[in-house]
Amino acid sequence: MDAQKEQLLKLLEAIGQKLIAAEKTLTDLDSPIGDGDCGASLKTGWQLVLDRLPTLNSQSMGGILNQVAVAFMSSVGGVSGAIYATGFMRAGKKIGAKAQLTLPEVHEVLSAALEGMKERGEGTKVGDKTLVDALEPALQAFGKAVTEGDPAERALEKALTAARKGSESTIPLVARKGRASYLGERSVGHRDPGSVVICLMFEAAHDLYRQKETLA
């Protein structure tokens, strides 16, 4: 198996385990401003992904991400499932048949996923109190770090810091998208759970890479 494909499978496993473990945290965040199903929905989606990972060794990296998209589309209901599925699908399409990615290409893949998620969210942008508030600044920080020649671990660290700052910025915002937007001013004072999901995903990536470097 190609090294990067093996890393991708390990990354998906790490992300899935982290988000499944965060079910209660995400549910508690979602309950005051959403349907209260964020944690359970993501647990369902990621559990299906984890169940299917052992069967995806023969797939290309793009094919693996397409299968993750299929898993989310088939198991996570509502707009959120479609948004996550679109992100993985766009990322898979951007990778295509490539077996190896440079750091700038990783940034391009993640940026393609972001754009797809924004489109599926009907033009969601920073300031709407969604996952975009964490993901867009994270990718900006990652891209800048890569351009400046930072190694992967440092670039991920900067992305994680930006994601956390972006997530925190959602607390005083009025939600303009999703179920929380129905609450208007009452959504102020609550952190967007989707932004926390992004933070957890970058935490999983950073932790996994740091562990690899430690073991090297």
Specify the amino acid at residue 171: I
Q: From CA 94, how far away is CA 62, in angstroms rounded?
A: 8
- Beta carbons of 167 and 133 less than 8 angstroms apart: yes
Label residues 6-22 b or e (16+ Cβ within 10 Å = b): ebbbeebbbbbebbbeb
CB atoms within 10 A of CB 45: 25
Q: What are the angstrom distances between the C-alpha of 133 and each of 40, 69, 170, 173, 192? A: 22, 22, 7, 10, 9
User: pTM of this prediction?
Assistant: 0.94
DSSP, collapsed to helix, strand or coil, labels residue 176 as coil
Alpha helices per DSSP H over 121-183: 132-147, 152-168
Q: From CA 127, how far away is CA 76, in angstroms rounded?
A: 25
Model pLDDT, residue 213: 52
Query: What tokens appear for 181 in the block?
Result: 């937007």
pLDDT along the chain (216 residues), means of 10: 89 98 96 90 97 94 97 90 96 94 96 97 94 98 97 95 98 90 88 97 93 51
Model pLDDT, residue 215: 36
Indicate the number of domains in the chain.
1
Could you tell me the residue range of the domain that residue 201 belongs to? 3-215
Can you give the CATH number for the domain in which 34 is found?
A: 1.25.40.340
Model pLDDT, residue 216: 34
